[in-house]
Chain A
């Protein structure tokens, strides 16, 4: 039985358990000298964190128990994300597997796919990436042109994906490909699980405006995917992809972003924004509002009320809050934190673009919540 309200005593107990565990389980080097770790040491900490999550049973909190999860609901998941972000826990490599690939396979995969993939997602022995966006298919996701041609026993994949996080570390990719040039839009795509460690897969990291290389572009040349790695029906991949995206735009991501916003706004109030107190106070109000909006949306989800609209609102809310916070930080000209704000300001520019641009989120609201036909 999972928790349905934040005011249940069980919710407070669960929070205390998670907080204690996170504090004890954080990789030691991460705790003591996070800022000075080499890229290899960061990776090591991320892998240790994946392993720790699995051992303690935090890897599949909301997965059904028959697939190795805990069978909990959105409230436990939110509490976990809040507490791990609060403790500045590393972002494990297994995240895309746990949050996107696993739930999609559970919802739409075959029993064979579940048996083959789920255990290795949970223990993070196989890292996953997500192959959706393409150079010509960003906001217009349904116009992907990477093709999968039917051959004996499977498909041959050709084309290019872009903005693929963790691609250089991934064993597997969940991807959307075009399987028909005749069928109508939204019924011409299929959803495949592709083995990245084979010939014809070429991963090239992309350097971003803040100097980091979080994303890659990935080229596929005659890469084979077996029939048993098709998820859902052939040509009905769009429907499967929508399941993935509704998970991505959820309350849990907003919870981790809330923690990020909190750190920045606290710094503004404590130091940098001494000449713009009113601006900082307003950001603080918006942060508190985001916190309550997440609580409300999560309780509505747990009560199985209509929470569909929450995802788009939350995405717009957290991305614009962090962008406005980093902008104020940069504008403050604080000599102590100049580099900090430059880095976070630049990094924040991606937030209104990825996971569906904020313009797309506004389109979703007008189309599907207010139901204004075009």
Chain B
């Protein structure tokens, strides 16, 4: 596998981006309607047919795009599941999410009614009915009470790479928002974009985001080191988002601006997929 994306990855990412962007409203909630648009377009099943030639590296491209719209659809995990398991079109169209271990609990990184949470054999996880209330914005993973089995081995390795890519998408969204803010916010009678201290924060955010993207790609290539790559990738994304908050000043610390949706998603993914020390 090369570090460079193939044409199929770019194509799927562009289309998924267009559809996700067309969804109005808060990015920070499961959006069944937008998922049905994606599923009807066949984008959830495209990795299941080997003839399409979609590899993990291509899924990373889609994952990065979807990270700009945190927890809105199960596109990333469904593409992974299509690659791992023999699932039929109907199951994939409903959305598939992997069960993941966090300490003694089993959790899912996305939840909406109708999706199927699967273990390492692709079978539905036997769990108490999933409660949407457990999907809060501060801890944006769904707790699967009663579940005992989770994905593992090579699936876990691939999930790590894909969710670091999702985190890079979170950084993309925050950096874009921070650049826009720096261009309009005025202090001392001039836009703050002219201050070198602010400009260097933006540059450092970009450097961290690019390094995190490298970590996602490396995680896909080095299974034995994937937990370490995940820890490093999530940490770098956090650095980028922290700088975005700083560039926003006090406004960045408010719930209303919404940077915390991205930051909380990254913190949560790190606690599930990063190396523990």
- A1 interfacial contact with B, CB 8 Å: no
Q: Are A370 and B214 in contact (CB under 8 A)?
A: no
Name the interface residues of B171-218: CB closer than 8 Å to any CB of A. 175, 179, 182-183, 193-194, 196, 199-200, 202-204, 206-207, 210-211, 214-215, 217-218
Q: Are A305 and B199 in contact (CB under 8 A)?
A: no
Q: How many of chain A's residues touch chain B, expressed as a range?
A: 20 to 34
Q: Are B1 and A7 in contact (CB under 8 A)?
A: yes
Task: Identify the closest chain A residue to B275 (Cβ).
Answer: A285
Q: Are A316 and B207 in contact (CB under 8 A)?
A: yes
Min CB gap A16→B, angstroms: 20
Point out the residue from B196, B202, B204, B211 that lies within 8 Å of A289, measured CB to CB: B211
Q: Are A299 and B3 in contact (CB under 8 A)?
A: yes
Point out the residue from B1, B182, B210, B218 that lies within 8 Å of A309, measured CB to CB: B210
Answer whether A293 and B214 are a contact pair too, CB < 8 Å, given A299-B4, A300-B4, A362-B204.
yes
CB-CB < 8 A to A362: which residues of B? 199-200, 203-204
Task: Identify the closest chain A residue to B199 (Cβ).
Answer: A366
Task: Identify the closest chain B residue to A316 (Cβ).
Answer: B207
CB-CB < 8 A to B3: which residues of A? 6, 292, 295-296, 299-300
CB-CB < 8 A to B214: which residues of A? 289, 292-293, 296
CB-CB < 8 A to B204: which residues of A? 362
Alpha-carbon separation in the docked complex, A176 to B202 (Å): 32
Name the interface residues of A333-374: CB closer than 8 Å to any CB of B. 359, 361-363, 365-366, 369-370, 372-374
A313, A317, A359, A361 — most chain B CB neighbours (10 Å): A313
CB-CB < 8 A to B277: which residues of A? 278
Alpha-carbon separation in the docked complex, A309 to B202 (Å): 14
CB-CB < 8 A to A369: which residues of B? 206
- B102 interfacial contact with A, CB 8 Å: no
- A303 interfacial contact with B, CB 8 Å: yes
Task: Identify the closest chain B residue to A371 (Cβ).
Answer: B179
Point out the residue from A7, A293, A363 that lies within 8 Å of B211, measured CB to CB: A293
- A213 interfacial contact with B, CB 8 Å: no
Task: Identify the closest chain A residue to B219 (Cβ).
Answer: A292
CB-CB < 8 A to A285: which residues of B? 228, 232
- B276 interfacial contact with A, CB 8 Å: no
Alpha-carbon separation in the docked complex, A7 to B217 (Å): 14
Alpha-carbon separation in the docked complex, A373 to B183 (Å): 8
CB-CB < 8 A to B4: which residues of A? 5, 296, 299-300, 303, 305
Min CB gap B262→A, angstroms: 18
- B22 interfacial contact with A, CB 8 Å: no
Q: How many of chain B's residues touch chain A, expressed as a range?
A: 20 to 34
**Chain B at the A interface: mostly helix, strand, loop or mixed?**
helix
Alpha-carbon separation in the docked complex, A316 to B228 (Å): 22
Point out the residue from B200, B215, B217 that lies within 8 Å of A366, measured CB to CB: B200
Min CB gap A4→B, angstroms: 8
Q: Are B207 and A359 in contact (CB under 8 A)?
A: no
Q: Are A5 and B199 in contact (CB under 8 A)?
A: no
Q: Are B199 and A372 in contact (CB under 8 A)?
A: yes
Q: Are B232 and A317 in contact (CB under 8 A)?
A: no
Point out the residue from B179, B196, B215, B228 that lies within 8 Å of A292, measured CB to CB: B215
CB-CB < 8 A to B199: which residues of A? 362-363, 366, 372
Alpha-carbon separation in the docked complex, A370 to B200 (Å): 11
Alpha-carbon separation in the docked complex, A313 to B204 (Å): 9
- B2 interfacial contact with A, CB 8 Å: yes
Task: Identify the closest chain B residue to A293 (Cβ).
Answer: B214
Mark interface residues in B1-12 (1 if CB within 8 Å of A CB, else 0).
111100000000
- A197 interfacial contact with B, CB 8 Å: no
Task: Identify the closest chain B residue to A300 (Cβ).
Answer: B4
Q: Are A289 and B218 in contact (CB under 8 A)?
A: yes
Answer whether A365 and B207 are a contact pair too, CB < 8 Å, given A372-B179, A372-B199.
yes
CB-CB < 8 A to A372: which residues of B? 179, 182-183, 193, 199, 202
CB-CB < 8 A to A313: which residues of B? 206-207, 210-211
Mark interface residues in A281-322 (1 if CB within 8 Å of B CB, else 0).
000010011001101100110010100010001001100000
CB-CB < 8 A to A292: which residues of B? 3, 214-215, 217-218, 221
CB-CB < 8 A to A370: which residues of B? 175, 179, 202-203, 206
B182, B183, B204, B207 — most chain A CB neighbours (10 Å): B207
CB-CB < 8 A to A5: which residues of B? 2, 4
Answer whether A289 and B232 are a contact pair too, CB < 8 Å, given A295-B3, A299-B2.
yes
B3, B175, B183 — most chain A CB neighbours (10 Å): B3
Point out the residue from B175, B193, B206, B228 that lies within 8 Å of A374, measured CB to CB: B193
Alpha-carbon separation in the docked complex, A299 to B194 (Å): 35
CB-CB < 8 A to A278: which residues of B? 277
CB-CB < 8 A to B203: which residues of A? 361-363, 365-366, 370
Q: Are B218 and A365 in contact (CB under 8 A)?
A: no
Alpha-carbon separation in the docked complex, A368 to B44 (Å): 36
Min CB gap A166→B, angstroms: 31
A-B contacts, 8 listed (Cβ < 8 Å): A5-B2, A278-B277, A303-B4, A309-B206, A365-B202, A366-B202, A366-B206, A369-B206
Kindly list 18 other residue pairs between chains A and B, CB separation below 8 angstroms, not including A289-B215, A300-B4, A373-B193: A5-B4, A7-B1, A278-B277, A288-B218, A289-B211, A289-B214, A292-B3, A293-B214, A305-B4, A309-B206, A309-B210, A313-B207, A313-B210, A313-B211, A359-B200, A366-B206, A372-B179, A372-B193
Q: Which B residues contact A (CB, under 8 angstroms)? A: 1-4, 175, 179, 182-183, 193-194, 196, 199-200, 202-204, 206-207, 210-211, 214-215, 217-218, 221, 225, 228, 232, 277
